[in-house]
Amino acid sequence: MLKGLIIKEFRHILRDPKTLLILFGMPLLQLLLFGFALSTEIKNAPIAILDHAKDAQSYALQSKIFSSGYFRQQEKLKNEKQIAQSFEGGKVKLVLVIPPKFAEQLANGNHVEIQVIVDASDINTGITLQNYAQSIIQNFQQQIHPTSKPFMQIVPKVRMMFNPELKSVYAFVPGVSALVLILISAMLTSVTIAREKELGTMEVISISPLRTQHIILGKVLPYLLLSMINAAFIILVGIWVLGMPMNGNVLILLLECLLYVLVALAFGVLISVKANTQQEAMFISLLSMMLPTIILSGFIFPVESMPWGLQQISKIIPASYFIEAIKSIMIKGGGFDLIWKPTLVLAFMATLLIILSIKQLKTRTN
């Protein structure tokens, strides 16, 4: 029974130029369109300080940094080794390393180097944070030597972690993948079910031995396959054409894609429960998928700078977790030890939505 449904669905797809265009044309278009980055203000970014000096001036600098409103202290580090650890866990966005005898050197008028290490895997946030840190340090210097000539006594030494060349592809390839996959998967499934409702074929196949789960699987499986082809395509273009690194495990990456696509497909089925026409389905999926994914997933605007309410919404957007996971895998080379959290969330969302969509799709009305 399922085989017939799947064959039929593939015929629908392959015979409709519009579907094919959305399926394979849109990803490429989006990839090219989002080739730019936006910078925005960030507040309360989690950072860590490695203070080798622990003297009056180093405390003064720290208090200046934390009173700026841009940064908050996530952790205090004890040694250089911990720097890498806190970055890999994604706990901090920036680390400041204050050298030993900070106050003494300043008093003697020597050059002092402060290391500013930035997580640049999210390029927009990285650059913005680096600029904030540099201007706070400059400001601090002017305070202790109000009369001094434009002589840089404290030299911020910047190091960009993960993305030393500050390539914006690091930000937009994961973002566009998230956007394209959810749009295609959710929109196409919701539109195809709505089309069957419009044409009356949904009623006809309802009056058959087919159960709801067959009808849903018959829709989801073909699109699952096509969406996975799409995911692979986007990632390959990202790597080969746009120079995205691939430092992690391909199988883990594909697994994340699979979970994410399942979430999107199940969401599409849920949309079609409410939508009775193809237009309605298209509209609901664009509105409920595209805007939140672009705006609230951290793809373009840093989640850290959002008001509390929007941050909470960002937490229920699947793309937030998908982007986090694939950035971790591709850029940082992370395995499950780094991405078990987003993986679990996506798996949970997929299971919940599929069960919900089977329960919701009605083959009978009151």
Place of tokens 């539109």: 191
Dmax (CA) for the chain in angstroms is: 89
- # binding residues, other proteins (CB under 8 A): 26
Stretch that binds other proteins, among 3-11, 33-41, 109-117, 334-342 (CB under 8 A): 3-11
297: helix, coil or strand? coil
CB nearer to other proteins: pick between 116 and 217: 217
Cβ neighbors of 303 (< 8 A, separation 6 or more) are 296, 297, 311, 314, 320
Site string for other proteins, 150-189 (x = CB under 8 A): ----------------------------------------
- Give me the DSSP letters along 125-145: HHHHHHHHHHHHHHHHHHHHS
Q: Does 236 bind other proteins (CB under 8 A)?
A: no
The interface with other proteins within residues 193-232 (CB under 8 A) comprises 199-201, 203-211
Q: Kindly state whether residue 279 participates in binding other proteins, applying the rule CB under 8 A.
A: no
Tokens for 99?
């050298």
- Considering the rule CB under 8 A, would residue 365 count as an interface residue with other proteins? yes
* 12 or 341: CB nearest other proteins: 12
Nearest distance in Å: CB 193, other proteins: 14
Q: Are 97 and 53 in contact (CB under 8 A)?
A: no
The H or E element spanning position 67 is helix 56-67
Rounded Cα gap, residues 274 and 341, in angstroms = 31
Residues 4-33 close enough to bind other proteins by CB under 8 A: 4-5, 7-8, 11-12, 15-16
* Minimum distance, C-beta of residue 118 to other proteins, in the bound complex (Å): 54
CB 263 within 8 A of CB 346: yes
User: Which window, 2-10, 94-102, 110-118, 291-299, contacts other proteins (CB under 8 A)?
Assistant: 2-10
The piece of 20-28, 142-150, 282-290, 357-365 that touches other proteins (CB under 8 A) is: 357-365
Residue 176 makes CB contacts below 8 A (sequence gap 6+) with 27, 30, 31, 34, 234
CB of 356 to other proteins, least distance (A): 22
Binding site for other proteins (CB under 8 A): 1, 3-5, 7-8, 11-12, 15-16, 199-201, 203-211, 363-366
